Chains A and B, each alone.
Chain A
Amino acid sequence: MNRPARALSHGFWTCLGCRQLVKVSRETRTCLCPRCGARMHGRVDGSIMLTWALTITGALLLIPANILPVMTVIYLGSGDPSTIIGGTLELYHNGLWGIALIVFVASIAVPVMKLVGLVILCLIVQLRLNVAPRQAMRIYRVVNAIGRWSLLDLFMISILVALVDMGAIAEVAAGAGSTAFATVVVVTMFAVRAFDPRLIWDVYEEKMSAVESENTGASHQNHNGERA
């Protein structure tokens, strides 16, 4: 199989600060960029670990985000704090199923999908699952793309809080749940950013090499370098 060469295979790292190509020895695990002095890694340092951590954080924070009320609409002095699900259900019961769908997608489906996607990506890399790298990349791109749209809810809440402040008649107050929800969104965005998609290809490369060596009887000589 005729595959393109990888920089890493040839002992080169790229400085993520100034894009300087640096030659490193195979034993080097981390070093500083000789040109700009930034810390350098062959791959993003601890990418999988960081992604895992942030993903788990996001998943855990989904709990308060859904338990705590995100918004309290106070109408004539009295109001019920509503959670995300509660509000969605209320919208749905009131017949506004279109809006309920949007809220559901933006507030529940998207963060969950994002977390699920991240977990899948992490698992692929961690467990070296035999997944077509292009499929994995598609997941990665989707997760990356939809991340910020989850902030739509918070956006809406903040606008409501600003707009609906008519003193005793009606008032909208943001709840603690919205903070948790915002944290979920931000954390997942960081998680996506922490994930290094090159690892997918490392896994693929490794698999292909293994197939080649099986076919050609070559040894696993690159294994250590790839795992760096």
Chain B
Amino acid sequence: MSDASMGNDAQPEGIARRSRGLSLVWLLPLIAALIAVWLLYKDFTQGDIRVTILFSSGDGLVKGKTAVKYSGVEIGVVNDFRLVQSARELNGQDGVLAEVTFNRSAGYLLTKGSKFWVVKPEVSLTGVRGLETLVSGNYIAVEPGSGPAQRHFVAVAEPPAYVRGDGLRITLKSPRLASLNRGSPVYYRQLEVGQVESYHLAEDASEVDINLYIRREYADLVHRGSRFWNTSGVSIQGGISGVNVELESLASLIAGGVSFYTPDAQQHSPLAVDGNEFKLYKSFADADAGIPITLNFDRGVSLAEGSTQVIYQGIKVGQVSSVKANKSINGMEVRVLMDPTTDDLLSENTQFWLAPPTLDFSSGVNDLLKGNRIEVDLRRGQRSVREFDAHSVPPPRDPRVPGLHLTLTARNTGSLQRGASVYYRQMEVGRVQGMALKEDGSGVEVYVVIDPPYAYLVNNESRFWNVSGLRASASLKGIEVETDSLLSMVRGGIAFGSGPHDSKSAGQAMNGDSFQLYASRDDAMEEGINIYIDLSGDEGLKVGAPLRYRGIQVGEITAMRLTLDLDGVRARARLYRRAERFARSGTRMWVVGPKIGLGGVDHLDTLVTGPFLELEPGAGGEPQTDFVALAAKPEPDLADTMMMPGLALILDAPRRGSLKRGSPVYYRQVQVGQVTGYQLGELADRVYIYVYIEPQYRTLVREHSRFWNASGMEVNFGVMTGLDVHTESAQALLAGGIAFATPNNPEMGLEVESGSHYPLYGKPDNEWLLWSPKIELYPALEENFK
């Protein structure tokens, strides 16, 4: 206190300064107040709204956690639960009343008609929904209603159908719901453009109405002509034509879905508007084709839904969409979706028929595996038809196909099939259109069309033959296999070529000309004539057995059949060209087979190749086609023998002995002739044995020659001489034989003429054996002894 009073005057004076008004610091609370007030206002206006929602079950709801979401935004949270006993809104069941606090901003959603439901993760074969709730937990979704505000709600069990947003709403009609579900996506080119809003049975319960919601920006993709098909799940269609797997997207695999597109032809159809109705096709394939038509088959045919195609001249113009029996179960009603381009060709003149698969290596094995197909002959007509009577077999011919149309007549067709190729020098130049029995049933008419560029190849003298199948012929020369091509082996085929007389003057074949269809190339090319031969039947001849003359084949047996009275076999044989002159009277023929005898072995080759017919031309000039085959090679009869240059003798014998035709005649154990035959004498008191002596030996036979039977064996046994076995020859021992001797020169007598008779002794005198006349043989034949 003393210091203060002491330095009072020494202290400096403050410098006076003017004071100011209100401090600027009050701006701070002002700003703070503004901020706070604004925030408080906002908080108050957006503050919580308390709402109660009655659930039938509190399953999956968590106090303080379960959110209420709208458009993916949390707008509220479940605060508390309360059990409600016998809730009136739930038909007396116990319920769970959830107290939910909503954001103030969501207040407009809480109106009469608002719907609440619990979104739970739902994974099933038909759909995945609320997958996000696996992570975030269940939540309550809300769909706003309209009307006065409301604070108490009853939750719905199912999400409401309605999809929020501006868009196109259309209805699909489907016989089945398939695996579609609420929210199933709608795809356009695999882009999700909408969803299934709801579905319900149509009024008459015959169909399901599926309501689609297409987002506005995609609404102009939907035309009146758009096609919708179900892409739910995997669509696997298996058949002989292969397996067709359709899968739009993995999501649609699980959730189901609908796809649509607009065919090109329908691109200009008017845009769809709300409420339009469409058909929901089962698959893309179903939706693809355009015009539905119905084919009535008069009997069951094998067709595959969704895979059997309708072909017009090799082009697919439709596809079978459904197959079912008709009402009277005696045929089939086939629904086909035809290409819209065929619209004005579906007339009363159009015909449908079922075409079986044909094997065509040019198109791969596909064609065969594709199974049956329906072929159509599209033609314009007076009126448009949508229901047809279809044929289960293709029509035999189709004159509209360009090319040269010919009719071939055949007894049978072999393995010839419709569509088989026609070859010219193994080039395919045409096709078999079809075949039909002739009206009288005597044959088959095969309708062939030759492609236009090759039509000039056919002329009046062309020969057609069947190259179907495989022909093999075996002989000692080897095995010969004849086939035209592998394809023709399977499918059959026809080849043609110019006839055997290559004539330059032959005219061009015209449309509709008729030709014969030969069974083989040989048939076609060989002209010849048919002759008919009666056989006894045990010769071992077969069809194809050759007719030979001097070892050269001049024909062959083409058919054999029993005679009507079953007493023989009648063979038809064809004489080759240039061998036709065998078909005259006087021609003889006999079967040559293997012959094994003591005298030799003949025709051993026929053991392998089979017997053949040997021909011998006759002198006659009259044409003749019916012959009787001789049992064996014809032996010259007496008359013949007389005519021959050698010497023909007749021996009178008491018995025939073991003599037979061909038995040798010996002179000094040299064969000089043979027995040509025998016959009983006129009075049957003796046997005439005809002997033929070769010309060069004829001088050996004289008036007093002695003939004896050389058959058998002579055995002399003596003490001094020992055993002496004598026979003319080993062959004569068994087959018999005749020997003769001529006396010595003074007694022999003159030469004799043919027809002379001699007695045939049983055995020679010893004297005869000692005769040794000197006789000059015909000098002209000296070379024979060389």
Verify B25–A5 contact, CB threshold 8 A: no
A21 to B3, CA, bound (A): 12
Of B13, B28, B31, B39, the contact of A22 (CB 8 Å cutoff): B13
In Å, the complex CA distance between A31 and B13 comes to 9
Q: Determine if A34 is an interface residue (Cβ-Cβ < 8 Å).
A: yes
Asked if A63 and B29 make an inter-chain contact with CB atoms under 8 angstroms apart, the answer reads no
**Interface-lining segment among A6-14, A128-136, A162-170:** A6-14
Q: Please, which residues of chain A bring their CB within 8 A of the CB of B14?
A: 13, 22-24, 28, 31-34, 40
* Cβ contact within 8 Å between B4 and A5: yes
A196 to chain B, nearest CB (A): 14
Task: Verify A34–B13 contact, CB threshold 8 A.
Answer: yes
Q: Say whether B134 faces chain A, with CB atoms less than 8 Å apart.
A: no
Is B598 close to A, CB under 8 A? no
B622–chain A nearest beta-carbon distance, Å: 115
The number of A-B residue pairs with CB atoms under 8 Å apart is 98
Verify if B713 is at the interface (C-beta below 8 Å from A).
no
The complex places the Cα of A63 from the Cα of B627 at a distance, in Å, of 136
Kindly state whether residue B32 has any CB partner on chain A within 8 Å.
Answer: yes
Q: Given A5, A10, A50, A67, which contacts B43 in the complex, CB threshold below 8 Å?
A: A67
Chain B residues with CB below 8 A from A68, complex form: 39
- Evaluate contact between A31 and B29: CB separation under 8 angstroms: no
Q: List the A side residues contacting B136 at CB < 8 Å.
A: 78
Pick from A31, A63, A180: contact of B40, CB below 8 A: A63
Which of A7, A30, A60 has the most chain B CB within a 10 Å cutoff?
A: A60
- Whether A39 pairs with B28 at a CB distance below 8 angstroms is no
A10 and B8 in contact (CB under 8 A), knowing A50-B23, A63-B39? yes
Minimal beta-carbon separation of B380 from chain A (angstroms): 67
Considering only CB atoms, which chain A residue lies closest to B28 in the complex?
A57
Is A123 located at the chain interface by the 8 A CB criterion? Answer: no
> CB within 8 A of B29: which of A4, A40, A60, A67?
A60
- CB interface residues, B 1-29, toward A, < 8 Å: 1, 4-5, 8-9, 11-17, 19, 23, 25-26, 28-29
Residues A30 and B19 in contact, CB atoms below 8 Å apart: yes
Flag whether B250 is at the interface (Cβ < 8 A).
no
Closest to B11 in A: A23
| Of A22, A28, A67, the contact of B11 (CB 8 Å cutoff) | A22
State which of A21, A28, A63, A187 has its C-beta within 8 Å of the C-beta of B16.
A28
Partner of A49, one of B12, B13, B23, B35: B23
In the complex, which residues of chain A have a beta carbon less than 8 angstroms from the beta carbon of B40?
A: 63, 67
Contacts of B17 in A (CB 8 A): 30-32, 39
User: Would B25 and A22 count as touching, CB distance under 8 A?
Assistant: no
Give bound CA distance, A180 to B35, whole Å. 10
Contact with B along A167-200 (1 / 0, CB 8 A): 0000000000000100100010000000000000
| In the complex, A56 has a CB within 8 A of chain B | yes
Give the Cβ gap from B68 to chain A, nearest Cβ, in Å.
15
Given A49-B25, A50-B25, also A61-B35 (CB < 8 A): yes
Question: Does B90 belong to the interface (CB within 8 Å)?
Answer: no
Residue pair A23, B12 in contact (C-beta under 8 Å): yes
Q: Is the beta-carbon distance between B28 and A32 smaller than 8 angstroms?
A: no
Chain A nearest CB, measured from B613 CB (Å):
102
Most buried by A among B23, B31, B32: B32
What chain B residues lie within 8 Å of A59 (beta carbons)? 32
What's the least CB distance linking A37 to chain B, in Å?
8
Q: Is the CB of A53 within 8 A of B12?
A: no
Residue from the list B8, B25, B33 in contact with A54, Cβ < 8 A: B25
Q: Is the CB of B25 within 8 A of A61?
A: no
Interfacial chain B residues near A24, Cβ < 8 Å: 13-14
- Asked if B775 is at the interface (CB within 8 A of a chain A CB), the reply is no
Min Cβ gap B604→A in Å is 101
Q: Give the shortest distance, in Å, between A167 (CB) and chain B (any CB).
A: 19
Contact B5 A10 (CB under 8 A): yes
Q: Which of A10, A53, A62 contacts B26 (CB 8 A)?
A: A53
Contacts of B436 in A (CB 8 A): none
Chain B residues bordering chain A, tally (CB within 8 A): 27
Whole-angstrom CA separation of A61 from B33 in the bound complex: 8
Complexed CA–CA distance, A40 and B17 (Å) = 9
Q: For residue B2, which residue of chain A has the nearest CB?
A: A5
The smallest C-beta distance from A49 to any residue of chain B, in angstroms, reads 6
Interface residues of A in 66-118 (CB under 8 A from B): 67-68, 78
Contact present for A34 and B39 (CB under 8 Å): no
Chain B nearest CB, measured from A148 CB (Å): 19
Does A29 belong to the interface (CB within 8 Å)?
yes
Chain A contacts for B9, CB-based, 8 A: 23
A35 at the interface (CB under 8 A from B): yes
Closest to A78 in B: B136
CA distance A150 to B530 in the complex (A): 131
Q: Which residue of A34, A60, A78 contacts B35 across the interface (Cβ within 8 Å)?
A: A60
Closest to A58 in B: B32
Contact B36 A64 (CB under 8 A): yes
CB contacts (< 8 Å) of A46 on chain B: these are 23, 25
Determine if B29 and A57 form an interchain contact, defined as CB atoms under 8 angstroms apart: yes
Among A24, A29, A32, A63, max chain B CB count under 10 A is at A63
CB pair A187 B36 closer than 8 Å: no
Q: Check if A20 is an interface residue, CB within 8 A of chain B.
A: yes
Expressed in whole angstroms, the Cα–Cα distance for A125 and B741 within the complex equals 193
Taking CB atoms, residues of chain A closer than 8 Å to B16 are 28, 30-31
Chain A residue at minimum C-beta to C-beta distance from B26:
A53
Across the interface, which residues of B come within 8 angstroms of A40, CB to CB?
A: 14
Cα(A5)–Cα(B29), bound, Å:
37
Q: A57-B32, A60-B32 are in contact. Are A22 and B12 (CB under 8 A)?
A: yes
Q: Which residues of A contact B35 (CB under 8 A)?
A: 60-61, 63-64, 180
For the complex formed, measure the closest distance between the CB of A192 and the CB atoms of chain B, giving whole angstroms: 14
A13 to B19 alpha-carbon distance, docked (Å):
17
**Pair A34/B15 contact, Cβ less than 8 Å:** yes
* Bound complex: CA A61 to CA B37 (Å): 10
Residues of B within 8 A of A33 (CB): 14-15
Residues of B within 8 A of A13 (CB): 14
Q: Which A residues from 189 to 220 make CB contacts under 8 A with B? A: none
Contact bitstring B40-56, A, C-beta under 8 A = 1, else 0: 10010000000000000
Q: Do the beta carbons of A61 and B36 come within 8 Å of each other?
A: yes
Asked if B8 contacts A53 (CB within 8 A), the reply is no
Q: Which residues of A contact B13 (CB under 8 A)?
A: 22-25, 31, 34
Rounded to whole angstroms, the CA-CA distance of A54 and B26 in the bound complex is 8
Are A60 and B26 in touch, CB under 8 angstroms?
no
Residues of A within 8 A of B15 (CB): 31-34
In the bound complex, CA of A64 to CA of B9 (Å): 55
Once A57-B28, A57-B29, A61-B32 are accepted as A-B contacts, the answer to whether A29 and B4 lie under 8 Å apart by CB is: no
Q: How far is the CB of B406 from chain A (nearest CB, A)?
A: 81
A12's partner among B11, B26, B39 (CB-CB below 8 A) is B11
**Bound: A12/B11 CA distance, A:** 8
CA distance A61 to B32 in the complex (A): 6
- A20–B4 Cα distance when bound, in Å, is 14
Determine whether the beta carbon of B28 is less than 8 Å from that of A5. Answer: no
- Residue of B1, B11, B32 near A5 (CB, 8 A) is B1
CA distance A34 to B43 in the complex (A): 54
A10-B4, A23-B8 as given contacts; A187 in contact with B39, CB under 8 Å: no
**CB-based contact B12/A34 at 8 Å:** yes
Measured between beta carbons, the chain A residues less than 8 angstroms from B39 are 63-64, 67-68
Residues from chain A with a CB closer than 8 A to the CB of B5 are: 10
Can you spell out 20 A-B residue pairs with CB atoms less than 8 angstroms apart? A5-B4, A10-B8, A12-B4, A12-B11, A13-B14, A22-B11, A22-B14, A23-B13, A29-B19, A31-B14, A34-B12, A46-B23, A46-B25, A53-B25, A53-B28, A62-B36, A63-B40, A67-B43, A68-B39, A187-B28
Question: Could you list 14 further interchain pairs (A-B, Cβ under 8 angstroms) beyond the known A4-B1, A67-B43?
Answer: A7-B4, A13-B14, A23-B11, A24-B13, A28-B14, A28-B16, A29-B19, A31-B17, A32-B15, A46-B25, A58-B32, A61-B35, A180-B35, A183-B32
Which residues does B use to contact A, with CB under 8 Å? Answer: 1, 4-5, 8-9, 11-17, 19, 23, 25-26, 28-29, 31-33, 35-36, 39-40, 43, 136
Task: Enumerate the 8 nearest inter-chain pairs by beta-carbon distance, A residue then B residue, closest first.
Answer: A31-B14, A23-B11, A60-B32, A63-B36, A56-B29, A32-B15, A60-B36, A57-B32
